[in-house]
């Protein structure tokens, strides 16, 4: 088997590559832009620790010629598409960039996959597609009536493109809606990483709103387990799954977990709610449990402790 992991140098992607190599699942090719959304040295450090048959290609999803040449050379069996511009708040500042990378880049990959006969195409979607959903927990068949950020819109558009290619060309596609992934190697712009580093360094943390917003936090090892289930999935030619931790935690509770893991209190800088932020995410993972064997195990208190342990020894 030959796997292409886009974004394979990043947080989730590097864990997926590690798992594929540890399982001796086959050859792995990583495509990553190594852009400056955060320090590219972090991604290069992730890549440096890969052990096994892996090839790293530096390139941009928007480069059509590069993508098609990569697929011609690689003859990939499975594509795990994790790359793209991330983050709700930055997407509001640079919407055109997000539309270009996340939608057009996904189109280039799907077209190359169709043309070269890829067997399985996995697309990393997001819980943000649910918008301000009054129904909790969120289920895959909920009506998606309004996204509230350009980032969310690009993820929903990516799902629709996958659906098109499954219906028109029989390309087997699986969309995975990730719910707030965290753990070792987490991007430095994400809450748990920012909070724990600030607490340990004696700096204040920015707390947006009154602390009652809630997120379903999902430990990265659990996400990887769900991705591996999706790699093996042979159900309908197009399908969608929630991958969440099944533990909705308020911002106040998260800060308390970070304080406990760090062994000291946080200095709080109170901030107003930010545009594009949803008040709550909550994953119904019944479908993923049944069809992917998905079984999230790590509670947020333990997961935050594992992050802090990694941070202090990295």
Q: Compute φ and ψ for 62, nearest 5 degrees.
A: -80, -10
Q: Cα(97)–Cα(77) distance, rounded to whole angstroms?
A: 29
Question: What is the enclosing helix (H) or strand (E) of 164?
Answer: helix 150-169
Are 107 and 69 in contact, with CB atoms under 8 Å apart? Answer: no
- Taking the C-alpha atoms of residue 183 and residue 199, their distance in angstroms, rounded to an integer, is 17
User: Any catalytic annotation for residue 151?
Assistant: yes
List, in sequence order, every residue forming a beta bridge with 280; answer none if it has no partner: 214
Say how far apart CA 58 and CA 37 lie, in whole Å: 15
Q: Please report which helix (H) or strand (E) contains residue 2, including its range.
A: strand 2-6
Specify which residues 125 forms β-bridges with. Answer: 177
Contacts of 311 (CB under 8 A, 6+ apart): 184, 193, 196, 197, 200
Contact 262, 200 (CB under 8 A): yes
d(CA 110, CA 158): 10
Q: Phi and psi (nearest 5°) for 274?
A: -100, 145
CA dihedral sign, ordered 19, 179, 213, 97: positive
Q: Which of 98, 151, 217, 219 is catalytic?
A: 151
Q: How many CA atoms lie within 13 A of 71 on its CB side?
A: 23
3-state helix, strand, coil in the chain (%, to 5): 45, 20, 35
Catalytic residue list? 151
């Amino acid at each position: 088997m030959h796997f292409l992991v886009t974004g394979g140098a990043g947080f989730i992607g590097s864990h997926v590559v590690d798992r594929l190599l540890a399982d001796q699942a086959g050859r792995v090719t990583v495509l990553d832009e190594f852009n400056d959304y955060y320090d590219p040295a972090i991604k290069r450090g992730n890549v440096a620790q890969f052990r096994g048959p892996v090839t790293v290609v530096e390139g941009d999803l928007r480069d059509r010629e590069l993508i098609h040449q990569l697929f011609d050379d690689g003859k990939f069996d499975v594509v795990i598409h994790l790359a793209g511009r991330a983050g709700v708040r930055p997407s509001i500042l640079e919407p055109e960039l997000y539309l270009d990378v996340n939608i057009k880049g996904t189109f280039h990959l799907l077209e190359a996959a169709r043309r070269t006969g890829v067997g399985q195409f996995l697309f990393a979607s997001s819980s943000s597609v649910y918008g301000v959903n009054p129904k909790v927990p969120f289920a895959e068949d909920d009506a998606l009536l309004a996204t509230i950020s350009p980032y969310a819109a690009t993820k929903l558009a990516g799902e629709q493109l996958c659906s098109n290619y499954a219906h028109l060309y029989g390309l087997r596609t699986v969309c995975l809606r990730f719910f707030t992934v965290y753990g070792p190697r987490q991007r430095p712009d994400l809450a748990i990483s920012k909070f724990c580093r600030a607490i340990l360094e004696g700096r204040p943390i920015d707390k947006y709103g009154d602390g009652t917003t809630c997120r379903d936090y999902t430990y990265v090892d659990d996400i990887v387990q769900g991705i591996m289930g999706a790699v093996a999935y042979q159900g309908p030619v197009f399908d969608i799954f929630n991958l969440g931790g099944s533990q909705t935690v308020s911002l106040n509770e998260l800060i308390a977990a970070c304080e406990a893991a760090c062994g000291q209190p946080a200095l709080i800088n109170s901030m107003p709610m930010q545009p594009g932020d949803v008040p709550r995410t909550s994953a119904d993972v019944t479908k993923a449990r049944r069809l992917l064997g998905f079984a999230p195990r790590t509670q947020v208190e333990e997961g935050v402790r594992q992050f802090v342990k990694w941070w202090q020894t990295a």
